[in-house]
Structure 1
Amino acid sequence: MALVPMETALQRLLEDVGPLDGESVPLKDAYDRVLAESIVALRTQPPFDASAMDGYAMQGADAQTTDGELAVIGEVAAGSTFSGSVEAGQCVRIFTGAPLPAGTDTVVIQENVDRPADGVIRLREPTAAGRNVRRAGLDFTTGDLLVEKGHLMRASALSLAASANHARLKVVKRPLVAIIATGDELCLPGSELGPGQIISSNSYGIAAAARAVGADVLDLGIAPDREDAISALVKQAVAAGADVIVTSGGASVGDHDLVHKVLTREGMTLDFWRIAMRPGKPLMFGRMDNIRCLGLPGNPVASLVCSQLFLKPLLARLGGRTFHQDIRTATLGAPVSANDHRQDYVRAAIEERDGQLIATPFGVQDSSMLRTMAASGGLVIRAPFQPASEIGDPCQLMMIG
């Protein structure tokens, strides 16, 4: 089977992928969720003409002169109302957020008022008619479109929805990712290792990548290299309602690489397998009805790179999110050799000098070396058959730090 070009593989992976169905959630749970339905105002805000300051409410004509005194005929605070009407020569003590009494249209702030006697005030300076008042509907009115479908809900949008009297919102369902690690050699972190065993690390990086784009994660643990064991976890993922099943390891061509065989038996139709990229050549993708199946390589760095390149865009689209790789232009800080037929993603240390990004590839790029992956700020992208490059040459850099 010929190697699939990286861009072709990504295009096929995302083909016909759209947001999942919507679900209604309490407003408090809508943070970092994508709206499946636009938010329309259920009320007017403010619902009445309200004072924007602590001061005195009066008729505009009285606010524009400092001649004479005004009689204070009452008081109104936020949450209450003044039952009477204010005539010329009168005013009402008012506090921020309180509704303006009938007959008033202006608030003079308390700092601009003297109180020569009880129940009487005198203005220190004129105030323009209509000042310090928030008119009814200043923010929005009933029926206004406030936040459009597809918006990612952050703090301000949540507050707006609450102000518009929404107790619940319809949001795109979070994709559920079931993660299955495979391999007789794998043990959980904290284990005492036996001969030939290693710690299973891939699931943690895969889960982090999934959560970074808003997905929920179901870690089903480690399946030994037995078809029945892998099959049992695949069935568990299906029963849990997983939208994506991600396997780690077992997708290559070795005698113990059983994932493809098991997934096919469970109903998966293979779309592609083996990508013209480094690291990550043995990546596999298929469909099991509405479930996407992504078989990631077992080498830790390859698993992380493929999660960045394939898993994140897939989950973002299922969750209704916009996702773009952060690709920048940088300058090489070390030479790199000519490339072969595969697209390379080269781990590099990143620094900034005089406003220019410098990407210095690590000398050893073995896909088992997590230490250099953790130290990388980005991956230098080397196109197929790209010629050798020297220090100072421009390069394309995918930021991952």
Structure 2
Amino acid sequence: MISVEEATSLIHSAFQPLPAEIVSLDSALGRVLAADVSSRVTQPPADVSAMDGYALRAADAGEGARLHLIGRSVAGGGFAARWLPGETVRIFTGAPVPSGADAILIQENAEVRKAKGDEETEIIVHVPPKPGQHIRRRGEDFSAGDVLLHAGRRLSARDVALAAAMNVPWLSVRRRPRVAILATGDELVMPGEPLGPDRIVNTAGFLAAAEVQSCGAVTQMLGIAGDEVRALETRLAEAEGADLLLTIGGASVGDLDLVPSTLAALGFEFAFHKVAMRPGKPLLFGHLGRMPVLGLPGNPVSAGVILLLFVRPAIEAMLGLSTHQPLPTARLGAPLPANGIRQDYVRARLQRNSDGAPVATPLPVQDSAHLHAFAQAECLIVRSPSAPAVDTGERVSVMLLDQPAFSGTPPA
């Protein structure tokens, strides 16, 4: 049995960033950049108006000044004719500022005089603008050649919009890892199937699939293999070519825990089997040929903790994301006794106290088979082996269950 730190090191060293592929912007959301992205354009491309109003020379626009209206500038169609002192151009938001103008008079600060036919011909200035007022200067946002998106960034909707503004239609991103998932056990049935007296629903398999997908990988569901060597071998063969195989159940030392022996017969190279952690002790890791394999216990809470500790970082490593995040801390909401010899991951609620500080309160139920309690938890309190008892109010390290990274105060 090895420590969590040793297991983390062995698993992390087995994964490298996957090759890049090219995707269009409409397929880029949530993908991870494999290369920096430079702008192909300057934004704004010219001096443009930030408001609807009138482009003019500030020197001409004293309070009460009358200016002759000679044209208009709209987005996509600027005003290019010559103009003289005492003249102005109607302008709209995003339209290029005519050469010679140095300010925008917003329409609310002007009185419009109209000739017959309801055509605007003259304005009267009520609130004089300052030079440069309401003008967005060329390149104020960014310039051609600026590197605005960097490799290793998971793309948000805002990032996709920025890439579009940079006039970049295609992006180089990491290929999504393919993770094969195989649940094992004669007792398992799929959700919705008839349940006999000795049957249970395959919950850990769907927990694994959801977690894998939330990390940005794609799943290959291999279904359920019964407790029979040939059935296991058949399903394991279907995982060939996957970037990672997760087996669920059958990884302990019981007579029907056939996963380790079946893998060994197929040439599996064991890196370790059993980790000093609670829950999740019967974890195995190694390689079947070139394919990394993680054997998870069947209890859904144990599987869920392992998915957070080991599977999520493995996927992030394949996507080229940083996997080293310092653990945040929170105040303890209830006392905890001294810990045993295994590293413990205590399921807890996470809330704010009256001062806005995060408080982690252990749930009363910590059984590794109780999925309802696990679903109510927002974090895991991390307790080192043989850690002493801690009192209410002391600081403890936590891992968030639903966020890949944490900064600041968690949501209430």
TM-score with structure 2 setting the length: 0.86
- CA–CA distance in 2 between the matches of 1:380 and 1:175? 29
Mapping of 1:361-376 within 5 angstroms? 361-362=363-364, 365-376=366-377
Deviation digits for residues 32-55 of structure 1 (CA, Å, limit 9, x no counterpart): 222111111111111122122111
2:279 matched residue in structure 1: 279
Contact map agreement 2:327 2:397 (CA 8 A) in 1:
no
Count of aligned pairs between the two proteins: 394
Contact map agreement 1:86 1:92 (CA 8 A) in 2:
no
Q: Cα gap change, 1:210/1:92 in structure 2, threshold over 3 Å: closer, same or farther?
A: same
Contact map agreement 2:178 2:218 (CA 8 A) in 1:
yes
- Report the secondary structure of 1:205's partner residue: helix
Q: Aligned-pair distance for 1:280? A: 1.3
- Report the secondary structure of 2:210's partner residue: helix
Contact map agreement 1:51 1:96 (CA 8 A) in 2:
yes
Contact map agreement 1:348 1:361 (CA 8 A) in 2:
yes
1:379 matched residue in structure 2: 380
Contact map agreement 1:332 1:395 (CA 8 A) in 2:
no
- Report the secondary structure of 1:359's partner residue: strand
1:114 matched residue in structure 2: 111
- CA–CA distance in 1 between the matches of 2:353 and 2:135? 52
1:212 matched residue in structure 2: 214
Q: Aligned-pair distance for 1:285? A: 0.7
Q: Cα gap change, 1:395/1:153 in structure 2, threshold over 3 Å: closer, same or farther?
A: closer
Structure 1: which 5+ runs fail to align? none
Contact map agreement 2:329 2:395 (CA 8 A) in 1:
no
Q: Aligned-pair distance for 1:388? A: 5.1
1:130 matched residue in structure 2: 132
Q: Cα gap change, 1:201/1:108 in structure 2, threshold over 3 Å: closer, same or farther?
A: same
Mapping of 1:96-245 within 5 angstroms? 96-118=93-115, 119-238=121-240, 241-245=241-245
Deviation digits for residues 31-90 of structure 1 (CA, Å, limit 9, x no counterpart): 122211111111111112212211122234323x34653221112221212241222222
Query: Which residue identity does 2:132 align to in structure 1?
Result: G
- CA–CA distance in 2 between the matches of 1:375 and 1:207? 19
Structure 2: which 5+ runs fail to align? 116-120, 403-412
1:31 matched residue in structure 2: 29
Q: Aligned-pair distance for 1:359? A: 2.6
- Sequence identity (%): 40
Contact map agreement 1:178 1:244 (CA 8 A) in 2:
yes
2:52 matched residue in structure 1: 54
Q: Aligned-pair distance for 1:379? A: 3.3
2:66 matched residue in structure 1: 69
- Report the secondary structure of 1:122's partner residue: strand
Equivalent residue for 1:43, pick from 41, 48, 72: 41
Deviation digits for residues 309-355 of structure 1 (CA, Å, limit 9, x no counterpart): 1111211222223454754243362553x444322223345565555
Mapping of 1:311-390 within 5 angstroms? 311-323=311-323, 324=325, 326-331=327-332, 333-336=334-337, 338-348=338-348, 354=354, 355=357, 357=359, 359-362=361-364, 365-387=366-388
Query: Which residue identity does 1:368 align to in structure 2?
Result: A
2:306 matched residue in structure 1: 306
Greater Cα shift, 27-36 or 378-387 = 378-387
Q: Cα gap change, 1:107/1:229 in structure 2, threshold over 3 Å: closer, same or farther?
A: same
Greater Cα shift, 5-14 or 247-256 = 247-256
Query: Which residue identity does 1:376 align to in structure 2?
Result: A
Query: Which residue identity does 2:223 align to in structure 1?
Result: G
- CA–CA distance in 2 between the matches of 1:211 and 1:26? 20
Greater Cα shift, 373-382 or 44-53 = 373-382
Contact map agreement 1:85 1:103 (CA 8 A) in 2:
no
- CA–CA distance in 1 between the matches of 2:16 and 2:322? 11
- Report the secondary structure of 1:139's partner residue: coil
Greater Cα shift, 241-250 or 106-115 = 106-115
